[in-house]
Amino acid sequence: NQMNNADNESVDRRTNTKNPLINCPLTKPLATAITIFSLAITTLSTNPQPTQAADYGAFTDEQRFIAEAWRTVDSVYIDRTFNSQNWFQMRQDAIKKKYNNINEAQAEVEKMLSTLGDRYTRYLPPAKYESMVNAATGNLYGVGVELAQSGDRVIASDVEPNSPASRGGLERNDVFVGVDGVKFDDGKATPDDVAVVVRGPEGSKVGVVVERDGKKIDYILTREPIKITSVRSYMGGDKPGVDGKVGVVRIKNFSGTTADTVKEQLEDLKKKGAKNIVLDLRGNPGGLLPGGVDTASLFLETNKPVVFVADKNGVVDAQSTFKDGIDLETPLVILVDGNTASAAEVMTAALQENKRALVAGEQSFGKGIVQTIRQLEEGKNGGVAVTIARYETPEHHNINKQGITVDVKTNVDCEKTDALACLPKEAFRKI
């Protein structure tokens, strides 16, 4: 159960992280988990926020919690109109109310953030916040299944080899109906919601109900430490109509080490005779933005634009390559699907718009914004995920809610171990 998500949000415990421009999930990807929902690009700040109201000390615990949540969002949120509403008045109204317990205050914060009209800016209850932190810091105990959004359902987009899920019999595209008595069949569940319940103490049991071919199947699985293999490669062999053998590098999410791993896998494939390379990004929800930027740079000449990131003040960080990559000539194809998002889209757009790769598959997810995760009350009352920046492609396209248009439309349902089965020879044409 992986966490990138939808929220693929990564967590950074550094202090003094002002306006961090790093991606998320879960992320990630982190030698962690992925909640594949196309997650967010994130960091965690543990800095206490300064108080602003003279009467802060007179607040109840619940009112202080609400004031801190409001202030945290106010300090970094990218939309300074706050969805064209009186954001300060909303704070005043919220802290004037009387709350019987912290649960009522948490519900008030959730309601307040929902008015922003941004699904990625949200309150994270303690269990969800802790789950994200544990996933990003490697303390992950689960069953080894990647989760993705498919319409109003949460499905298994992949199953990690030799994991409890794999050994137990879970399969790709299984639909999650319930976990440990918590139902997820109301059409409102996200991969993040499912992941929080699936994870738990090492060695503990978890009951999973999935739907497959119209039938419900129950599994009892034992949670184990899960190490996600985020990069894999294999020789795809010969493809009729394609000049030379094809090597495939599958990237499941981006972390700070992804570029180095891809470089190693690329060199290995070339030693095995690969004359064409496929980068399989199906189901990749993103992860750390620098991971996507660095991986794209492996294939680009110096001084090529990769991405533009704009913060709440409109300040644009133009990120370009600073040296030639290691491979500027090998024919390159990127395979994407509707769950390819965030940092994965950054890399895809960079290579497509710099005329370095052809993109095949289907329209990508369309997540062009960056999140940070901030704890509340030292994490004991959860935290908030907040959108802090947006990015544009090298040609200044805003792909948020739009996605990347592919050069060659293809089926994307082939096995994750056989990307060539999805690709017609047209995908390997010269750019």
Q: Which of these is catalytic: 45, 342, 380, 425?
A: 342
**How many CA within 13 A on the CB side of residue 312?**
18
d(CA 146, CA 292): 20
d(CA 51, CA 110): 21
Cα angle value 119/125/126 (rounded, 5°)? 145
Angle between helices 289-297 and 258-271 (to 10 degrees): 30
d(CA 135, CA 57): 35
* DSSP-based three-state secondary structure for 359: strand
d(CA 231, CA 262): 7
How does DSSP assign 202-234, residue by residue? TT-EEEEEEEETTEEEEEEEE-EE-----EEEE
**How many CA within 13 A on the CB side of residue 302?**
3
Angle between helices 191-198 and 126-136 (to 10 degrees): 80
d(CA 357, CA 221): 41
The CA dihedral of 221, 222, 228, 229, to the nearest 10 degrees, is: -70
Tell me, yes or no, if 342 is annotated catalytic.
Answer: yes
Q: Which of these is catalytic: 367, 380, 409, 430?
A: 367
Q: How does DSSP classify residue 416?
A: T
First to last CA, the chain: 38
Tell me, yes or no, if 320 is annotated catalytic.
Answer: no
The CA dihedral of 420, 423, 426, 430, to the nearest 10 degrees, is: -60
Q: Convert 351-390 to b/e letters by CB count within 10 Å (16 or more is b).
A: bbbbebbbbbbbbbbbbbbbbbbbbbbebebbbbbbbbbb
- Tokens standing for 291? 């991971």
284: left (phi over 0), alpha (psi -120 to 50) or beta: beta
- Write out the catalytic residue numbers: 342, 367
